[in-house]
Amino acid sequence: MGGGALVNLGFCFIRLAKVKNLSIKADFSLAKPLIVSNILLSALGGLMWYLQFFFYAWGHASIPAQYDYMSWMLHMSFYVLCGGLVGLVLKEWKNAGIRPVSVLSLGCVVIIIAANIVGLGMAS
């Protein structure tokens, strides 16, 4: 966990050094409500990231021992599926064109079908 934080922090400082129109001082000169909302949203993102492991462990405990290897696949698939669907709902793909959105939609459908196949395999 600390390694990822160090890499991200290092990358941020490299970007601050290379891109002249970026600065921490300029960020903190923004309106106070904007700064507070950014801090709260980043805290929410961190909390959600932490909780994914909590819920992963909770779900993992419900999977029989012979299917342990499937829990990580289901976890990561759900992660990608939710990210794709949220991106579509929030219209993040609005200007991407039809082909990338089609590929994303097809990928979401494939994930749903694969998860159902895994579920059927675990049920029998």
Give the torsion through C-alpha atoms of 113, 114, 116, 122, to 10 deg.
160
With tokens 């001082």, the residue in question is 25
In a domain, 8, yes or no: no
For residue 74, with 0-12 CB atoms within 10 Å meaning exposed, 13-18 middle and 19 or more buried, which class applies?
A: buried
What's the total number of domains in the chain?
1
Instruction: Tell me the average pLDDT of the chain.
Output: 86
Whole domain around residue 114: which residue ranges?
A: 64-124
> What tokens appear for 33 in the block?
């409500």
In a domain, 17, yes or no: no
Q: What is the pLDDT of residue 1?
A: 58
Report the Cα 25 to chain-centroid distance in Å: 29
In a domain, 116, yes or no: yes
In a domain, 43, yes or no: no
Q: With pLDDT > 90 as the criterion, what percentage of the chain qualifies?
A: 34
In a domain, 72, yes or no: yes
0.85 exceeded by pTM: no
As a whole number, mean pLDDT of residues 31-39 equals 88
In a domain, 96, yes or no: yes
